[in-house]
């Protein structure tokens, strides 16, 4: 019984891993359960043993990817030389999962799985909020960010803006490139809170990145 339970757990992980790759490559909407079963070399019946429907699979994959992103962000924070570099590293990580095409996870979650997207937004506020607050405080302590800023307010404002620029109704993908939106917003955010020392650091970082 123990061996069978282990097999089921391992198979579930394999399905999530394969589905993640296909969803990121082709889009949540484009990949069917039939496509996934064929790519895994298993029957659709076996697939449905682990996931009741595609919605449940999309939800599981979305939050699995999110947990990986959070892990990568923690690593960036530990390795970055300063809070400005931290935020740019987070931006680069985010760009791996966004993109401007209608196959992008950002577009398809909003369009076809709005409930999953809303739950993802809540998790982003919960987990990224702590990261942003810590980053802001580190910037203040190191003299890069202005000491008078309200850390809680600015962190919420920053996160709300990052979510806003991903809103496909406010910024249609036909008119705006997501990488330009992220770059412009990050520059706007940092210039509003940096000290003279921070501005010098920002300018130097952008000149070599």
3-class secondary structure for 117-134? HHHHHHHHHHHHHHHHHH
Residue 104 pLDDT level (bands cut at 50, 70, 90) = confident
Rounded Cα gap, residues 198 and 143, in angstroms: 7
Pair of tokens at residue 141: 């302590």
> Which carries the bigger pLDDT value, residue 86 or residue 95?
86
Instruction: Report the distance separating Cα 36 and Cα 26, nearest Å.
Output: 12
Q: Where are the alpha helices (DSSP H) in the chain?
A: 2-26, 33-40, 44-50, 54-79, 83-95, 105-112, 114-141, 151-164, 178-193, 196-208
Distance CA 197, CA 192 (A): 13
Bridge partners, residue 145, by sequence: 194
| Dihedral sign for Cα atoms in the order 184, 186, 189, 195 | negative
Contacts of residues 112-115 at CB distance under 8 Å and 24 or more positions apart, as own/partner, are 112/28, 112/29, 113/28, 113/55, 113/58, 113/59, 113/62
Domain ranges of the chain: 54-208
Percent of the chain with pLDDT over 90: 59
Residue 1 above 60 pLDDT? no
- Range of lowest pLDDT (36-40, 72-76, 82-86, 195-199): 72-76
Cβ(87)–Cβ(135) below 8 Å: yes
User: If one looks up domain 54-208 in CATH, what number appears?
Assistant: 1.10.357.10
The arithmetic mean of pLDDT across residues 91-96, rounded, is 80
Rg (CA), the chain: 20
Q: What is the pLDDT of residues 18-39, one digit of tens each?
A: 999 999 888 899 899 999 999 9
Cβ atoms 65, 97 nearer than 8 A: yes
Q: In a 3-state reduction of DSSP, which class is residue 145?
A: strand
Residue 137's pLDDT band, with cuts at 50, 70 and 90, is very high
């Amino acid at each position: 019984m123990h061996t069978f339970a282990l097999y089921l757990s391992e198979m579930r992980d394999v399905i999530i891993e394969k589905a993640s790759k296909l969803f990121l490559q082709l889009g949540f909407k484009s990949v069917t359960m039939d496509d996934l079963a064929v790519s895994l070399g298993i029957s659709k019946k076996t697939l449905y043993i682990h996931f009741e429907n595609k919605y449940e699979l999309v939800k599981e994959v979305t939050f699995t990817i999110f947990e990986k992103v959070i892990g990568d962000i923690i690593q960036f924070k530990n390795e970055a030389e300063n809070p400005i570099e931290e935020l740019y590293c987070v931006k680069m990580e985010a760009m791996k999962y966004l993109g401007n095409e209608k196959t992008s996870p950002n577009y398809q979650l909003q369009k076809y799985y709005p409930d999953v997207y809303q739950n993802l937004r809540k998790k982003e506020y919960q987990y990224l909020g702590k990261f942003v607050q810590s980053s802001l405080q580190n910037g203040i302590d190191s003299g890069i960010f202005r000491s008078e800023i309200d850390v809680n307010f600015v962190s919420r404002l920053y996160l709300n803006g990052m979510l806003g620029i991903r809103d496909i109704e406010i910024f249609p993908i036909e008119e705006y490139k997501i990488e330009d939106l992220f770059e412009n917003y990050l520059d706007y955010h940092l210039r509003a809170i940096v000290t003279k020392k921070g501005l010098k650091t920002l300018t130097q970082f952008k000149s070599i990145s």
